[in-house]
Structures are given as structure tokens and as C-alpha cells.
Amino acid sequence: MQRFAPIEDLFKGRHFDGQIIILCVAWYTSFKLSLRDLVIMMADRGISVTHTTILLRWVQHYLPEFEKRWWRYARPVGGSWRMDETYIKVHGEWVYLYRAVDKAGQTVDFFLSQNRDVNAAKSFLRSATKNTRVPTKITLDTYAASHRAVREMKEDGELPRRVKVHSSQYLNNLAEQNHRRVKQRIRPMLGFKQFDNAAVTISGIELAEKIKKGQYKTGKLGGRKATISELWNAALAAEPIAVHSAKQSPTDLLAGMSLHRALGAVLRIKRRVSMLGNWRKEDSSQSLLTLPTMVKAWANRASWRTLTSERKISAG
């Protein structure tokens, strides 16, 4: 689990308070506002800031870090993907924005490319499978390069052969309609000047759209009742989610599971105990088969196999 520095350390040496920076970045990526609009809104609150400070020093600098911190609370996406590409302008030239959503309309991933070809489609699919999961079905448009990219990745083993590929305009309308959320937000920005800056800004827009769609677990961060500033502050300042370690007690291991999983664990342990009870009682190592040992061994399947193999050897 990646460790993050305290949120206060990110804003050391900044002229403005960290809460102001977070609020401006959240507003800029979430709403149809230009940089001049944000300058006026901050001036009404008694804060004098320039548009270049918001874009170059705040948005471009902090969005990658904010995205990493939000990723801790991401929900899994579905396995049925709708993949499509659209156009945006960067420095007066058209570039291609590859995007994918699942069948529920949840955003899977995006990729900004200067070309629309096989290599661009492969790069997008590699990024999407690395950041989320391997799809079970991909719905594409009729563009031949995307179909060829999927076919070659399956031949090279980068995608499982069981992945199904469809071409349906009706099913792909979901992805095409989803492009509007991003393009409507880009329109007030009046275009991008640099390719790298465009990629960072679009990642922030996609992040804000995921939050609106409920793709992050925000229940412990305030939920629907929290304002946008409260939600962002809680997500960025929260400690990383705890991971169960091998040193935890059996009670802690069971407490960290859902009710369904905990009951299943107890039933499995009882079956293992009854099975191990048929071995020789005079075995000196039999005294080690206590409930805590069984719980810890079951939580780690490798330890369980080692434990049972040792008992079988000693019993034989």
C-alpha cells in the first residue's frame, strides 16, 4: 500500500492556504467555469488570485497527486466495456481522446493520443486493463484499427482469448453520449495550448465525473450530505485504508470480513478441524491445532497448505 505524505505537507511554501487550492481545483474540474470565472468568484470572497496561478501552479501541479489519493476509494467497474474515441483541439490541432465506459455508464479509463491508429488503441487498452481490470466483452464502433488492435493483443497474449468483441452502434451510443460530459466541460476552457497540460486537465475532469457518478466510496467521507469542498478535503486528508496483516489476531481477521465471509470461514474451519481430528491423537504437534492457528492458516491459503501437509506427514 502506497504511503502518502500528510496533506499539509503538499502546500508548504504556498502563498495561499491549502483549502483555497483544493476548492479552486475541485470547482474548476467539476463545473463549467473558465479561469476568469474562478478569479471573479475568489475576488468576491476577498481572495486575489490570477488565472495563471490556478491553471499552471495548482491544477497542473496538484491534480496527479489528488487523483492518486482519490484512487484509494475507487469502486470496481464492470467487465462489459463500450470503447469509443472523440476529438478535442490542442494548440489548434485535433487530437483523439479514447474513452471507455461499462454497461452501467461508469467510466473505465481514458487516453489522449495524437494519432488514431492501432498503436493508440493498444496503448489505451493496456492502460485501462492495468488501472482497472481485464474486460470480458468489448463493444467497438466500425473503425478497423480498434478491431485490429484487440485481435493482435489477443494473439500476443495481452488480452485473454475469451474476451468477446462486438460492433454495435446501438450499444456504443452509451459511450458516445458519455463524451458530452467531458466535452461540455472543455468548451468554456477555450482550448488547450500544450498536449501534456491537456492530459492532466482531462484527468481532473474525469475524476470529477467519477465522483458525480458515485464511482468512489464516499460513505465514510460524508456521503451525499457533504459539500464538494468537505468531500474533497476528507478524501485527500484521510489516511490510507488499512490492510490486514499476518500479525492480526483471529478475532480481528473475522471482524474485518463481511458477515457472509465470516460465516463461511467458520464453517471451513470446522470442517478442517473434523478432518484433522481423524489423525493420530498421539501426535505431539496435534496440540498446535487451536482455533487461532486454524483461523490464521485459513486466512493465508499458502500457510494452510503448509499446515495440513505437515499434519499429514506426521500422521503417516
191-220 residue pLDDT tens: 899 999 999 999 999 999 999 999 999 988
* Whole-number average pLDDT of the chain: 81
pTM above threshold 0.85: no
Question: Which class for 215: exposed (0-12), middle (13-18), buried (19 or more C-beta within 10 A)?
Answer: buried
CA distance 7 to 19: 10
Output the pLDDT for position 105: 93
For the chain, list the strands marked E by DSSP.
80-90, 93-102, 107-113, 137-140, 164-167
CA distance 187 to 194: 16
Question: Is the separation of the CB atoms in 86 and 99 below 8 Å?
Answer: yes
Q: Tell which CATH classification among 3.40.50.970, 3.40.50.10860, 3.20.20.70, 3.30.420.10 matches the domain 76-195.
A: 3.30.420.10
Provide the residue ranges of all domains of the chain, joining segments of one domain with +: 1-74+216-243, 76-195, 250-315
Question: Is the separation of the CB atoms in 145 and 117 below 8 Å?
Answer: yes
Q: Please write the tens of the pLDDT for every residue from 132-190.
A: 999 999 999 989 999 999 999 999 999 999 999 999 878 888 898 899 989 999 988 87
Q: Per-residue confidence at 229, pLDDT binned at 50, 70, 90? A: confident
